[in-house]
Amino acid sequence: MADPINVSNATRFVHAGERRDFPGGKPAATPIYATSSFIFDEIEDIDRIVEGGASGYVYSRYGNPTVAAFEEAVCEVENGAFAYAYGSGMAALHAALLACELTTGSVVLASRDLYGSTFELLYTVFGAFGIKTVAADFSDLETLQEAVAENKPSVLLCETLSNPLLRVCDIQAVAEIAHAVNAKLVVDNTFATPYLCRPLDLGADLVVHSATKYLGGHADATGGVVIAKNEFDRPALLGALTLAGGVLSPWEAHSLLRGLKTLGLRMEKQCSNAERLAHILKDSPYLSEVIYPKFFDGEHAIALDETFHGSEFGAIITVRLKEDTREAAYRFLNSLRVCTRATSVGDLFTGIVHPATATHRELSPAKRVSLGITEGTLRIAVGIEDLNDIAKDIENALKECHPAEAGIVSDIPFTNAAAAAQLF
Contact 89, 210 (CB under 8 A): yes
The Cα-based distances of 177 to 152, 171, 293, 395, 422 in angstroms read: 11, 10, 24, 43, 46
Catalytic residue among 33, 84, 86, 115: 115
How many Å apart are CA 191 and CA 24, to the nearest integer? 40
Q: Please report whether residue 259 would count as binding ligand PLP according to CB under 6 A.
A: no
Any catalytic annotation for residue 115? yes
Q: Please report whether residue 159 would count as binding ligand PLP according to CB under 6 A.
A: yes
- Min CB(149)–ligand PLP separation in Å: 28
- Min CB(200)–ligand PLP separation in Å: 17
Q: With CB under 6 A as the contact rule, which of the stretches 31-39, 64-72, 206-214, 290-298 interacts with ligand PLP?
A: 206-214
- Min CB(49)–ligand PLP separation in Å: 30
Contact 182, 152 (CB under 8 A): no
How many Å apart are CA 274 and CA 161, to the nearest integer? 15
Contact 196, 187 (CB under 8 A): no
Among 224, 351, 355, 383, binds ligand PLP (CB under 6 A): 224
Position closest to ligand PLP via CB: 89
Q: Please report whether residue 316 would count as binding ligand PLP according to CB under 6 A.
A: no
Q: With CB under 6 A as the contact rule, which of the stretches 133-141, 184-192, 401-409, 411-419 interacts with ligand PLP?
A: 184-192
- Min CB(212)–ligand PLP separation in Å: 4
Among 63, 80, 89, 199, binds ligand PLP (CB under 6 A): 89
Among 64, 111, 222, 396, binds ligand PLP (CB under 6 A): 222
- Min CB(359)–ligand PLP separation in Å: 8
Q: Please report whether residue 199 would count as binding ligand PLP according to CB under 6 A.
A: no
Contact 117, 90 (CB under 8 A): yes
- Min CB(381)–ligand PLP separation in Å: 10
Among 64, 210, 273, 335, binds ligand PLP (CB under 6 A): 210
Q: Please report whether residue 351 would count as binding ligand PLP according to CB under 6 A.
A: no
- Min CB(170)–ligand PLP separation in Å: 18
Residue of 109, 201, 121 whose CA lies nearest to 156: 109
Contact 283, 146 (CB under 8 A): no
Among 133, 163, 249, 377, binds ligand PLP (CB under 6 A): 163
Q: With CB under 6 A as the contact rule, which of the stretches 17-25, 30-38, 185-193, 316-324 interacts with ligand PLP?
A: 185-193
Contact 179, 155 (CB under 8 A): no
Contact 102, 78 (CB under 8 A): no
Contact 371, 320 (CB under 8 A): no
**Please, what is the Cα angle at 82 between 81 and 85, to 5 degrees?**
155
Site for ligand PLP in 285-304 (CB under 6 A): none
Which residues, in sequence order, are CB contacts of 383 under 8 Å at separation 6+? Answer: 270, 273, 339, 347, 348, 349, 350, 351, 390, 421
How many Å apart are CA 388 and CA 372, to the nearest integer? 29
The Cα-based distances of 289 to 318, 323, 325, 403 in angstroms read: 8, 11, 14, 20
- Residues 107-136, one symbol each (x = binds ligand PLP by CB under 6 A, - = not), give --------x-xx------------------
- E-strand ranges in 4-144 read 82-86, 107-111, 132-136
Q: Which residues are catalytic?
A: 61, 115, 188, 213
Binding site for ligand PLP (CB under 6 A): 88-90, 115, 117-118, 159, 163, 188, 190-191, 210, 212-213, 222, 224, 345
